Structure formats: C-alpha cells, structure tokens
C-alpha cells in the first residue's frame, strides 16, 4: 500500500520539485548578477567604473547587497495594514516565478507543457500587478498610493497592446503552446523566425514588456523626482529585496519570451542555411546556449534603454499605448491574416 | 484526490465569497472577490476547461478587478453611514436572498429540465485533448452568428461608454502631444551668426 502511494504521488512530486529547483536556482542567481551587470553596464555607459569594491572587480557585490537587505530591520509604517503589507511582495514574487513554469528551455526541457502556456503567462503577469496595488494601498502613504494608481493604469493599458502583439504570434504558429511556437519557426535558420513577418508586433511586444515591468523609460511608477520611490517607498529589508527580485525576474521573463516567440528560441540562426556550409556545421545545432544568448540580448536592451532614454511623461505613456500601439497591432493582425492565406513562405506554410 | 481538490477550492470559494459581503473594508472585500475568482478558476481547471479558467483570471482578476480597486481606493466610503439602514432593510433583504437561494436550489436539484440528475457527468479526455481548438471550432462554425452579435454589442458598449464620458473642452490649454512629437530642431533652435567684436580696438 505504501509502495503504491509512493509510486503514484511521492515520486512524481519529487521529480517536479527537483525540476522547480533546477529552474529557480539559476534564475535567482541570474537575477542577483543581473543587478551587478546593470550597475556595471550603466556605469560604463556613463563613463564610470561601477561597483568595484567587494571582491575582485566587484563580483561579490550582489552577495553583499543580499546579505545587507536580509539583516536590515523591516519597518511597518504607522496605520499600515500589516497582513496585506507582507502579502504584497509575496504575491509579486510568487507570480513572477510561477510564470516560469511553462517556459521551455529546449525541445524537451519544460516543467509544465500545457496547451494554454501563453495565456497562462499573460494571466500570471496580470496578477503580478496586485503586488504593486496591495503594496501601495497597505503602506498608508501618499506616494505609494500615487504610484499604485499610475501602475494600475499603465499596466492595464500596455497589457492590451502586448496581448494583441501575441495574437499575431499565435496566428502564425497556430498554437498557444510555446514549444510549438518555437518549432513553427524552424527549418530556415534566421529567416524562419517570426520577427520578420511580425516586425511591428515584435517591437510593440518588447516596448510593452518594458512598460509592463515598470522599467525606464516607463518607470513613472517609481519616478524618484516626483514620488520618492513609488509603491515600495515604505518597504525596507527583505520585503524590499523581494520586490526587487520580482522586478528583475519579470524583466528576464519578458526577455526570454521575446527570444522564444520572435527569435526562434533554442533554434540556431544557421539552421538549414547553405551559405558557406554553415547549415551543416556544429553551429547549426539547436541548443539552450542559443536561447540564453538571445535572452541576454534583450536583457542588455533593458539596461541600454535605462541608460539612454529620459523618463516618459505620464500623458505620453498613455498616448503611446492607446493611440499608437493598439491601432498598429490591430492593423498588423489583418496583415498577418493576409499573409496566412497567401501562405507566405517560410513562415506560413501549413505543415 | 480530485474530490479533495474540488472540496478544498469550493470551500475557499464559498468562504471568500462570504467575506466579500461581510468584510467592512471595501478594498478588502475587493481582494476577497479576487480570491473567489481564483478558486472558481481552479474548479474550472478540474473540469478540463483550461482556456476558460485562464481567461477568467486574465479578464476578471487581471483587468476588471484592477479597475474596480482603482475606483474603490479613490472613494471615501463611510462605513457607519452605509450600515445606517441595516435593521430597517433586513426583512426585505432576507426575502430577496431567500428567493435567489430558492431559484438556485431549483436549478441545481429540482425540476424536470434542470437538476444534476438530468445531465451526464462531463466525459474524461485524453492528455492531448485541446480545449482551445475545440472551443475555436464551435465558436467560429456553429455559433459564429451569436459570436459576432456579442462582438457588435460589446463594440456598441465601448462606443457608448466613450461618448458618455467624452467632454470636449476647447478652452483648456492642454499640451498637444502630436505637435510636441512632430517638432524639429529647426523649429526650436535658431543659430545666429554674430560678428566677432573688435576687442583690441575697444581697449585702446
């Protein structure tokens, strides 16, 4: 009897737990070193050195930051709603990490291979905004409240543009499963990727992703010059660190999704290309390295944006989302429909 | 196993639904409503309706409730004022509640057309069964007209909502973003050639 229970429940559960750890530990390490790379990259862009005190060339800086935040006191503002104050960062990190369950890292490397993967990710990112809303409301602070209202409006607006951009991908791949979307781009190397026929949607997706994660230049939610630090102004110590983790995990999620949906994921750009015999060399093999390299490009773009652009004004953000992005996506969805019926090679050939 | 999951989420749903109407603070009530939506999404997942479950979360939790909270947080609601007529209105409220409960009970257990006994339990599907493609097939073939009518009604709703709230105020001096975006450096910047001063002459 015990053996039966073990074989039915325990072993699959342990199997899943091991997979979750195998995703989360590298992810959290990436987040930690992403913050270091961000400070370094922006430092070099601004002709500074960036962190270089802790460890050789500052490599231990994120560890030191994490230790400092862990041992700092958590301060509850007077009149704050304590329960919601603690639930808010938990909700932010939970949804940011839960979305990774459906991300495939290779043809067979996926934790949950579900049919509605893309919708699931949209659902998780849209629930993530509750972390911000709860934080702002539970803090009992004017600045946090202002930030909450800004974030709610911004995220809801850009979710529409992002959803429409993803509709184009779904139309091209005829599937919501991310693994199938990647395989739909296979066969002709870099030209088979969906970024070519869906170029406007690709750009809109990534810019909306930047807006969704409240990163510069769309970071009115934490505009330092106006509302101090936005929704997490009252947070300190580990609770603040959790918000930080969630934001960076979301940035990496947007990056890896851009790589998977528009740039062929783990497929090699040289696959099936006859030029110089590249299509048959070892470079043509698809592997997780390609996926990570493509993701790194988008992660770098996030930092580049932050170092380059001044912050958008609030009405400009709303105008860009509603009056530019949404009309463009709707028009391009029709164009995708035409390309679909024209069976435009190599993207829309029915298998 | 499945029964346990069902009862856990049903208990969650009923409890949080109760909290929605009993909790004092309107913002907390809205959050309990979010929890109710989550629990019902989980129950839909048990029914193998994964598309509907995820859509429920995206639309209701992700969009509708966010706007709801947006409004509720901005309101200054006096709870004592709201509770003023509680005892006076109680009999009527109980009557309405009983009537609604009776109707639901009739639909679930009784009647010739209704009742659990009149419907077969939903069939189990294999792991590769796709709820979405099935739904898409039905929506765009058999129910295409009702689908389109629903879309048109939604569109009319959007237009009505916008035209109700649209106020044209030509006198306000708001920024015209189009002009700001279209501006070129020549419009703002004028390069003036100045003759150099003859300084040495002046010093003399």
* ipTM score: 0.77
CA distance A279 to A284: 5
Q: Report angle CA B35, B37, B39 to the nearest 5 degrees.
A: 70
The answer to whether residue B177 scores a pLDDT higher than 90 is no
Q: How far is A65 from chain B (nearest CA, A)?
A: 33
The answer to whether residue B135 scores a pLDDT higher than 90 is no
B52 vs A1, residue with greater confidence:
B52
Q: How far is A215 from chain B (nearest CA, A)?
A: 20
Residue B96 shares a structural domain with residue B153: no
Other C-beta atoms lying within 10 Å of the C-beta of residue A112: 13
Sign of the dihedral through C-alpha A37, A39, A45, A50: negative
3-state SS of A139-153 is: CCCHHHHHHHHHHHH
- Among B77, B103, B138, give the residue marking a domain's end: B77
**DSSP characters for A25-57?**
HHHHHHHHHHHHHHHHHHHHHTT-----SSSGG
Beta carbons of A129 and B73 less than 8 Å apart = no
Q: What is the CATH number of the domain that holds B57?
A: 1.20.120.1200
B129 vs A182, residue with greater confidence:
A182
Instruction: Give the per-residue pLDDT at A273.
Output: 67
**B58 contacts on A by Cβ (under 8 Å):** 119, 122-123, 126
Asked if A332 and A201 touch (Cβ cutoff 8 Å), the reply is yes
Instruction: Give the per-residue pLDDT at A105.
Output: 86
Instruction: Give the per-residue pLDDT at A106.
Output: 80
| B192 domain-assigned | no
Mean pLDDT over B53-81 rounds to 79
The answer to whether residue B76 scores a pLDDT higher than 70 is no
Beta carbons of A133 and B175 less than 8 Å apart = no
| B18 domain-assigned | yes
**A129 contacts on B by Cβ (under 8 Å):** 62, 66
| B194 domain-assigned | no
**B73 contacts on A by Cβ (under 8 Å):** 137, 145, 148-149
pTM: 0.84
Residue B85 shares a structural domain with residue B112: yes
The answer to whether residue B98 scores a pLDDT higher than 90 is yes
Instruction: Give the per-residue pLDDT at A172.
Output: 86
Chain B residue with Cα closest to A125? B62
Asked if A165 and A107 touch (Cβ cutoff 8 Å), the reply is no
CA distance A303 to A296: 11
Which range of residues forms the domain containing residue B7? Answer: 1-77
Instruction: Give the per-residue pLDDT at B152.
Output: 95
**A126 contacts on B by Cβ (under 8 Å):** 57-58, 61-63, 66
Instruction: Give the per-residue pLDDT at A328.
Output: 92
**B55 contacts on A by Cβ (under 8 Å):** 119
Residue B45 shares a structural domain with residue B96: no
- Reported as a single tens digit per residue, the pLDDT across B30-50 is 888 888 998 998 888 888 788
Instruction: Give the per-residue pLDDT at B81.
Output: 67
Residue B39 shares a structural domain with residue B62: yes
Place of tokens 């749903």: B13
The answer to whether residue B167 scores a pLDDT higher than 70 is yes
Residue B12 shares a structural domain with residue B43: yes
Residue B35 shares a structural domain with residue B10: yes
| B106 domain-assigned | yes
Tell whether A86 is within 8 A of chain B (Cβ): no
Number of domains in chain B: 3
Chain B residue with Cα closest to A317? B177
Q: Which pLDDT band, with edges at 50, 70 and 90, does B159 fall under? A: very high
Residue B64 shares a structural domain with residue B83: no
Place of tokens 């603690």: A86
Tens digit of pLDDT per residue, chain A (351 long)? 667 777 777 777 888 888 888 888 999 889 989 989 998 999 999 888 888 888 888 888 888 888 888 888 888 888 777 888 888 888 889 998 988 888 888 877 788 888 888 888 888 888 888 888 888 888 888 888 888 888 878 888 888 888 899 998 888 888 888 888 888 887 777 778 888 888 899 999 999 999 888 887 888 777 777 777 778 778 888 888 888 888 899 999 999 999 988 888 888 777 766 666 665 666 667 778 888 888 999 999 989 998 888 888 888 888 888 888 999 999 999 998 888 888 777 777 765
Instruction: Give the per-residue pLDDT at A277.
Output: 61
Instruction: Give the per-residue pLDDT at A240.
Output: 87
Instruction: Give the per-residue pLDDT at B108.
Output: 76
Q: Which pLDDT band, with edges at 50, 70 and 90, does B201 fall under? A: low
Beta carbons of B51 and A127 less than 8 Å apart = no
Residue B71 shares a structural domain with residue B44: yes
CA distance B40 to A112: 21
B36 vs B111, residue with greater confidence:
B36
Residue B64 shares a structural domain with residue B14: yes
| B202 domain-assigned | no
Beta carbons of B57 and A156 less than 8 Å apart = no
């Amino acid at each position: 009897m015990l053996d039966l229970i073990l074989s039915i429940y325990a072993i699959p559960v342990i199997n899943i737990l091991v997979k979750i750890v195998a995703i989360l530990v590298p992810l959290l390490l990436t987040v930690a070193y992403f913050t270091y790379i961000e400070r370094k990259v922006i430092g070099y862009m601004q002709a500074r050195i960036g962190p270089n005190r802790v460890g050789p060339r500052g490599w231990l800086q994120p560890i030191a930051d994490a230790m400092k935040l862990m041992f700092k006191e958590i301060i509850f503002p007077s009149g704050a709603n304590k329960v919601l104050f603690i639930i808010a960062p938990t909700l932010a990190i939970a949804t940011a990490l839960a979305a990774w369950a459906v991300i495939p890292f290779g043809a067979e490397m996926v934790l949950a291979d579900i049919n509605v993967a893309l919708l699931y990710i949209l659902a998780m990112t849209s629930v993530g905004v509750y972390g911000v809303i709860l934080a702002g409301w539970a803090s009992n602070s004017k600045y946090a409240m202002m930030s909450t209202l800004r974030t709610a409006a911004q995220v809801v607006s850009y979710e529409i543009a992002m959803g429409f951009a993803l509709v184009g991908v779904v139309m091209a791949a005829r599937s919501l499963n991310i693994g199938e979307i990647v395989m739909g781009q296979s066969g002709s190397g870099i030209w088979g990727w969906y970024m070519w026929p869906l170029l406007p949607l690709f750009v809109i997706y990534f810019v909306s992703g930047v807006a969704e994660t409240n990163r510069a230049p769309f970071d009115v939610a934490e505009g330092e010059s106006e509302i101090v630090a936005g929704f997490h102004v009252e947070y300190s110590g580990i609770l603040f660190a959790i918000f930080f983790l969630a934001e960076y995990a979301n940035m990496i999620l947007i990056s890896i999704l851009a790589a998977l949906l528009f740039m062929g994921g783990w497929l090699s750009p040289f696959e099936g290309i006859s030029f110089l015999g590249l299509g048959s060399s070892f470079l043509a093999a698809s592997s997780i390295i390609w996926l990570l390299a493509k993701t790194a490009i988008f992660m770098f773009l996030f930092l580049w944006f932050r170092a380059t652009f001044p912050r958008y004004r609030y009405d400009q953000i709303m105008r860009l989302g509603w009056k530019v992005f949404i009309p463009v996506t709707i028009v391009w969805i029709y164009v995708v429909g035409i390309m679909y019926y024209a069976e435009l090679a190599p993207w829309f050939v029915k298998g | 196993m499945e029964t346990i999951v069902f009862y856990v989420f049903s208990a969650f749903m009923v409890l949080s639904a109760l909290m929605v109407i009993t909790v004092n603070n309107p913002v907390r009530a809205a959050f309990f409503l979010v929890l109710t939506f989550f629990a019902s999404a989980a129950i839909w997942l048990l029914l193998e309706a994964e598309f509907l479950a995820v859509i429920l979360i995206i639309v209701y939790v992700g969009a509708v409730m966010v706007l709801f909270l947006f409004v509720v947080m901005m309101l200054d609601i006096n709870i004592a004022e709201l509770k003023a007529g509680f005892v006076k209105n109680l009999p009527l409220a109980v009557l309405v509640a009983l009537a609604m409960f009776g109707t639901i009970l009739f639909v679930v257990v009784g009647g010739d057309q209704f009742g659990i006994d009149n419907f077969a339990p939903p069939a189990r599907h294999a792991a590769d069964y796709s709820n979405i493609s099935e739904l898409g097939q039905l929506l765009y073939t058999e129910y295409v007209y009702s689908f389109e009518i629903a879309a048109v009604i939604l569109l009319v709703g959007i237009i009505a909502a916008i035209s109700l709230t649209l106020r044209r105020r030509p006198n306000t001096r708001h920024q015209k973003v189009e002009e700001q975006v279209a501006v070129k450096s020549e419009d703002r910047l004028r390069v003036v050639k100045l003759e150099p001063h003859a300084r040495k002459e002046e010093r003399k």
